[in-house]
Homo-oligomer: A and B are copies of this chain.
Amino acid sequence: MAPRSAGKNAESSDKVGVICRALRRAIIEQALEPGAKLPEDSLGERFGVSRTIARHALGQLAAEGLVELRRNRIAVVATPSWQEARDAFDIRIELERLVVRQLAGKLTKPQIATLNAHVDAEDAARDGTDAVSIRLATEFHILLAHMTNSPILVRYVSEVAYRCCLTLSLYSRPHSSECAINEHRAIIAALVKGDEAKVMALMHSHLDSVASRALVAPAPQRGRDLLDILAPYADEGGSERVVKLPKVVRVR
């Protein structure tokens, strides 16, 4: 219970951080869809900074996997493959099991209140847009991570949760949030009760159900995926082996 460093991470007080946070939020609220272009100029202009800063922000987001950066090409919002989405959920399950394992029976009263308040907010937002519900649902998990007081865990859970959001907006159109909210409440209850095994199982099944609701089919063909299919053949090895094909595929 001893307060560890809740330290601000590297990006939190400068303009780069502002841009990162704004873009992250735009991405998880699906205002920016996967594949959306992010030119440095436009970003810089929009946020009132120079390209240098916008570029740096894109670098950070790329390191988090939210943005794809290819040399000499416009940055785009990442478009994870179905398999990557699945992988992200697998990792997320393990990380969040770790979170609730550390938290079981150790929550303070104010923490419990905070969690309940958050779920209430999720409830209240049920008749709002999907974007907001998704964001709130994700933030619930990040909130839990924060309560471990482990900056590393916070970072990884946040990142992977954002990535999962991204895949949700790619592979699952309808978002039914009521059940998720109930599951959140169940998790809080089990955490308070301190039943470690139970809460780990709950979290597991919660995430697993979100994942399987979202990632139902391997969906080999969906939307603009032709390039994804081609990608593995094109980017193998270090030496820019380029697949030569007639320019048939056109994105957007």
Residues of A bordering B, CB below 8 Å: 3-14, 16, 52, 55-56, 59-60, 62-65, 67-69, 71, 81, 83-84, 87-88, 90-91, 94-95, 97-98, 150-153, 155-156, 160, 163, 228, 231-232, 235-236, 238
- Residues in B whose Cβ lies below 8 Å from that of A236: 6
Q: In the complex the two chains form, what is the Cα distance from A97 to B97 in whole Å?
A: 13
Provide the main secondary structure of the chain A interface. Answer: helix
* Contact between B10 and A69, CB atoms less than 8 A apart: yes
Least CB distance, A206 to chain B, in whole angstroms:
17
Whether A238 contacts B59 by the Cβ 8 Å rule is no
- Determine whether the beta carbon of A10 is less than 8 Å from that of B63: yes
Residue in B12, B59, B95 whose CB lies within 8 Å of A60:
B59
Q: Are A84 and B232 in contact (CB under 8 A)?
A: no
In the bound complex, do residue A91 and residue B163 qualify as a contact, i.e. CB atoms below 8 Å apart? Answer: no
Residues of B within 8 Å of A151, CB to CB, are 84, 87
Residues of B within 8 A of A156 (CB): 91, 156, 160
Set of chain B residues within 8 Å of A6, measured between Cβ atoms: 232, 235-236
A4 with B81, Cβ < 8 A, contacts A13-B71, A59-B56, A91-B152 known: yes
Query: Closest CB-CB distance, A2 to chain B, in whole Å?
Result: 9
A4 contact set on B, CB distance < 8 A: 81, 83-84, 232
**Can you spell out 11 A-B residue pairs with CB atoms less than 8 angstroms apart?**
A5-B81, A5-B84, A6-B236, A11-B62, A52-B52, A59-B60, A83-B150, A90-B98, A94-B98, A152-B160, A152-B163
Which 8 A-B residue pairings sit nearest by Cβ, starting from the closest? Answer: A10-B62, A10-B69, A87-B150, A63-B63, A94-B94, A5-B232, A87-B152, A4-B83
Determine the distance from Cα of A1 to Cα of B209 in the docked complex, in whole angstroms.
25
How far apart are the CA atoms of A211 and B238 in the complex, in Å? 35
Contact B98 A235 (CB under 8 A): no
Q: A4-B81, A7-B231 are in contact. Are A153 and B60 (CB under 8 A)?
A: no
- What residues on B are CB-neighbors of A62 within 8 Å? 9-11
Q: Contacting A97 at CB < 8 Å: which of B67, B94, B228? A: B94
CB pair A152 B5 closer than 8 Å: no
Q: Find chain B residues with CB under 8 A from A59 CB.
A: 10, 16, 56, 59-60
